[in-house]
Structure 1
């Protein structure tokens, strides 16, 4: 998915999108937990733990290390091929119906302009990468999962792409790519992404949570109301 480094006649813009509650009308990690519970790969106790940890997300106090350890437990020891097959079914059943039609239109608008579309998410790469590919993103930054000999260990690697970690990973991504950007756009719904939105030239608050809505109003940022439409990619 990485954008090739061919010569570009005019400098493109970088368009950075959060995933959960920004591009889709749901949290993909929560939907995934429900899905694997339906598959009898996770217990009700796991779901309760996931919901308890997720409750701290809205106010920016989530312990992301602990959250990832908890949510990855059901797939520890799973081989990557099995996981890929599960995720494909998950996307078909749970994610496709949740896409915001306006989000798809906005990505297409950026692509038509020749912009580079980058999805940055605080969700595991096993979910984010195939979802972003479906949307036509050029590349993805997500939480990296450790695999040993193709087996999921339940551990993460590198900087977690959460809060300030998104900016750290984005800057590293820019440094790794031989592209001179004319400017940058950023889209998110969450106050957790305030560092990312502050780091771009043109921030947009999409269906923002109350804290981000207040900040956006004070900073005179554009607030976007994206509508949900079922089966937009079916």
Structure 2
């Protein structure tokens, strides 16, 4: 029997926060940047994301600048602190249960996020999700992050492209599945939600909630 496909957005969908923006606040706590100027920039990019006007390439150059020259050991230690201080305390059992429900049904489950793979790799593992489609960071010959994006960013229409590429690599396509669930909070994800047979507006922002009500999509509120 053909498996069903289940795709999860991450920020404000499975997590009650934005991991990208929260990482920016963590970078400030690390003392890697000037707090006032970096916070202003981080907040401005976040506002553009919420408004649907973010230039993802410009943002990746900005948000990787404070750490891309740091050693792998320093970054690994910092990410461990970030997970322990910011992410693990924010993971709600109800979100984990939703992931487990789809896994128990035999669904092919993936996390599809516009946050970069450096930030989200450990978060996907914390949720027990094996397949992560995140913004891939370009690296030079020495493995150093350049501040540019490798390939198509998993953002807006790019999420449709990246998911299709991932499925093709397994000899599959969107048409391989009887049902496709897509959980997201953001209207930025409308292109991917429109590929789904079962789009679910999850903790939706007002713009997505309006669209979901107009289209008769279910609305799921995981968090208070």
SS in 2 for 1:42: coil
Coordinate RMSD, CA, aligned: 1.4
Map of 1:41 onto structure 2: 32
Mapped partners of 1:82, 1:14: distance in 2: 37
The answer to whether the 8 A contact 2:68-2:145 is kept is yes
Partner of 1:172: 165
| Match for residue 69 of structure 2 among 42, 55, 77 | 77
Deviation, structure 1 residue 162: 0.7
In 2, distance between residues paired with 1:138 and 1:117? 8
**Kept after mapping to 2: 8 A contact 1:15/1:184:** yes
Residues 188 and 205, structure 1, Cα contact 8 Å, conserved in 2: yes
- Give SS of 1:55's match: helix
Q: For residue 183 of structure 1, report the CA deviation from its aligned partner.
A: 2.3
Q: What secondary structure is seen at the aligned counterpart in 1 of 2:200?
A: strand
The alpha carbon displacement at 1:142 in A equals 0.5
Q: Which aligned segments of 4 or more residues in structure 1 are displaced greater than 6 angstroms?
A: none
- For the 8 Å contact 1:80–1:151, the answer to whether it is kept is no
Q: Does 1:65 align with 2:57?
A: yes
Q: Which runs of 5 or more residues in structure 2 are unaligned? A: none
Candidates 11, 14, 20, aligned match of 1:23 = 14
**SS, match of residue 141 in structure 1:** strand
1:150-229 equivalences under 5 Å are: 150-179=143-172, 180-227=176-223
Q: Output aligned runs, 1:54-133, within 5 Å.
A: 54-133=46-125
2:38 is paired with a residue whose SS is: helix
Whether the aligned pair in 1 keeps the contact of 2:110 and 2:133 (CA below 8 Å) is: yes
> Contact 2:110/2:129 (CA < 8 Å) preserved in 1?
yes
Give the structure-2-normalised TM-score. Answer: 0.93
What secondary structure is seen at the aligned counterpart in 2 of 1:175?
helix
- 1:52 Cα offset (Å): 1.0
User: In the alignment, does 2:71 pair up with 1:52?
Assistant: no
How far is the alpha carbon of 1:65 from its aligned partner? 1.2
Give the unaligned 5+ runs of structure 1: 1-9, 229-234
Task: Please give the TM-score of this superposition, normalised by the length of structure 1.
Answer: 0.89
CA contact (8 A) 1:79 1:150 kept: no
Secondary structure at the counterpart of residue 221 of structure 1: coil
What is the aligned residue count?
A: 219
For the residue of structure 2 that corresponds to 1:56, the secondary structure is helix
- Structure 1 Cα separation of the partners of residues 210 and 78 of structure 2: 39
Shift of 1:63: 1.3
> 1 CA distance for matches of 2:31 and 2:116?
20
